[in-house]
Amino acid sequence: MKITLILTGKNKEKYVEQALEDYRKRICRYVPFNIVEVPSPKVSKKLSVGEVQEAEARSIRKALPENARLVLLDERGRQQKSEEFARWMQKQMASGVQNLVFVIGGAYGFSPGMKQNAYALLSLSKMTLSHQVIRIVFAEQLYRAFTILKGEPYHHGG
């Protein structure tokens, strides 16, 4: 199984880039892991929220690998403890899925069509997190899931 993380918009912070690269290398010890940035649409007063969401959806669809199982990181998605997420990841790997794709969308969220076509919606927190921070939080949780599955000492849940 390959995992891809699609990010909407550019990263503007060096610390985010450094943290993502660190976690990318760690995750690659377990599975091929790729991070792809797609551009955010130019937002203007002439565009409705729906139009911005649809423009983002088109960019995301272009970046999807073949046979992608799409998982959207969305505030209304299902929340899980780290151990639950690890078991969920294990089920994905056992299911024979070739390309598991997680997407962090833009400030306006995902279009209804994207949500409808998604395999799952996951939420990382009830709190609102910046799109920069959520990138790091997700990468860390993905890495943590693999350490849990391998019984490695990184995770000390309670």
pLDDT tens digits along 113-153:
999 999 999 999 988 888 899 999 999 999 999 999 999 98
Question: Is residue 158's pLDDT more than 50?
Answer: no
Distance CA 84, CA 57 (A): 28
Residues 101 and 21: their CA atoms lie apart, in Å, by 18
Quick one: pLDDT at residue 107?
86
CB atoms under 10 Å from CB of 118, counted, come to 18
- Would you call 86 helix, strand, or coil by DSSP? helix
What per-residue confidence (pLDDT) applies to 46?
80
Q: What pTM was estimated for this model as a whole?
A: 0.94
Neighbours of 46 (CB within 10 A): 6
For the record, the structure tokens of 127 come out as: 């709190």
What are the structure tokens assigned to 123, written together? 């939420």
Give the pLDDT confidence of 39-97 residue by residue, as tens digits.
888 777 788 889 999 999 999 999 999 999 999 999 899 999 999 999 999 999 999 99
In the chain, helix, strand, coil percent, each to 5?
Answer: 45, 20, 35
Q: 155 pLDDT band (50/70/90 cuts)?
A: low
Print burial letters for 92-106: b (CB count within 10 Å at least 16), e (below 16): beeeebebbbbbbbb
DSSP string, 52-81: HHHHHHHHHHHHPPTTEEEEEEEEEEEE--
- Residue 9's pLDDT is what? 87
pLDDT of residue 42: 76
Pairwise CA distance, residues 115 & 109, whole Å: 10
Distance CA 97, CA 82 (A): 21
